[in-house]
A = this chain, B = another copy of it.
């Protein structure tokens, strides 16, 4: 990669040495505990844990004394159980777009909102965006944080923001052309759809000034990112966030696009074993647990995201000291335990997607074979591969088996399937069948 200038929004903070980051975190954590003690939800829980005063937090090591918070707790605390300020200080409410049942809600004061916007502006700066960019935000505006919170960050950056919201692809394309849009914010699947529409509508690359996309809100593989980059001829930046944590921008890629920096002055990130809830060894995969440090209205301590990732231990070439997290491996809910080993369907998918000759569909079956678990992976191959010599197909099977065993330490049964013979599925969950008897 050619040398690129590395822009910062707040260089001193973004490149602070680890002891300084930890000092900031410790002070901010104390403030968050003080806020939490003002809420009906946290007060009894913290007191029970011996944390009846923020002064109990003397160093980051005291983090482990704080009880966890789950999505279920958010629902239990609805509507005001987690509110730490008088209602008239709240200027914004966001809520999960939601399935039925109790929504999960967040509250922001004006100061909280300003910090959230500043965090988002910092993300965009790290990715090389400037006030000269024309930003078309294709995420839904309203209660969903992905629309408005990104919008506020891009506006604070000083970019020209076009709040198109989601949908209406033909208008999106017209505006991209007419206003010279340089950056879009959209889900990976919408970016693919956009690429198809550009082709279908007869736009040429010269019609558009698009140079980058920010994407998130949907799990996707590195292969898909590379495909979108290649097809649209742009840079695609991963963004991690969730509505509980003020939406997008908790972690963001810098221009090196090699993992997402977690903004550690505003969030404490832990990566824990989802069973023992103890830290995993540095660099290993576990559940991301987040504590927000930049919110007066609604503290959220050690929130279990259920998202699986790992820290990237090496320092980043950009000079930022805030640790990076890797692309997500999946959700704890997706995790399969096979003969005592944690296996994520996304790991299997990763091997299949990068192998030439493998088709669009696959299916994972876990069953009992006597006392042991048995993993079967059914793989559709491409029509070209299917028409090929059986020795070539056998070689593909053996290669997949050995690559999977190397990655997940389990030797799977690998069944090669005719193109189109497996059910077409939208989500990862539908690609897995666990036939073991429930205990």
Contacts and interface: CB of A to CB of B under 8 A. Distances in A.
A160 B87 contact: yes
Q: Tell which of A160, A162, A165, A175 has the most Cβ of chain B within 10 Å.
A: A160
A163 B178 contact: no
Interface stretch (A37-45, A142-150, A272-280): A142-150
A93 B165 contact: no
B92 A161 contact: yes
Contacts of A143: 162-165
Interface string A218-232: 000000000000000
A181 to B, nearest CB: 10
A88 B98 CA distance: 37
A159 interface: yes
Contact of A142 (B107, B113, B160, B163): B163
Q: Is the interface of A mostly helix, strand, loop or mixed?
A: mixed
A1 to B, nearest CB: 27
Contact of A87 (B88, B110, B134, B178): B134
Contacts of A162: 93, 143
Interface in A145-198: 147-148, 155, 158-165, 171, 175, 178-180
Interface in A71-113: 78-79, 87-88, 90-95, 98, 107, 110, 113
Nearest to A79: B178
Given A142-B163, A143-B163, A91 B179 contact: no
B141 A148 contact: yes
Nearest to A167: B142
A110 B95 CA distance: 28
A131 interface: yes
A132 interface: yes
Contacts of A78: 178
Interface residues of A, number: 36
A234 to B, nearest CB: 20
A142 B159 contact: no
Count chain B CB atoms within 10 A of each CB in A98, A107, A113, A131 and give the residue with the most: A131
Interface string A346-380: 00000000000000000000000000000000000
A92 B160 contact: yes
Given A141-B148, A178-B79, A161 B91 contact: yes
Given A78-B178, A92-B160, 20 more contacts: A87-B160, A88-B131, A88-B132, A88-B158, A91-B155, A91-B158, A91-B159, A91-B160, A91-B161, A93-B161, A94-B163, A95-B175, A110-B155, A113-B155, A141-B142, A141-B148, A141-B165, A142-B165, A143-B162, A143-B164
15 contacts: A79-B179, A87-B132, A88-B131, A88-B132, A88-B158, A90-B160, A91-B161, A92-B155, A94-B163, A98-B171, A110-B155, A142-B163, A143-B163, A143-B165, A148-B163
Interface of A: 78-79, 87-88, 90-95, 98, 107, 110, 113, 131-132, 134, 141-143, 147-148, 155, 158-165, 171, 175, 178-180
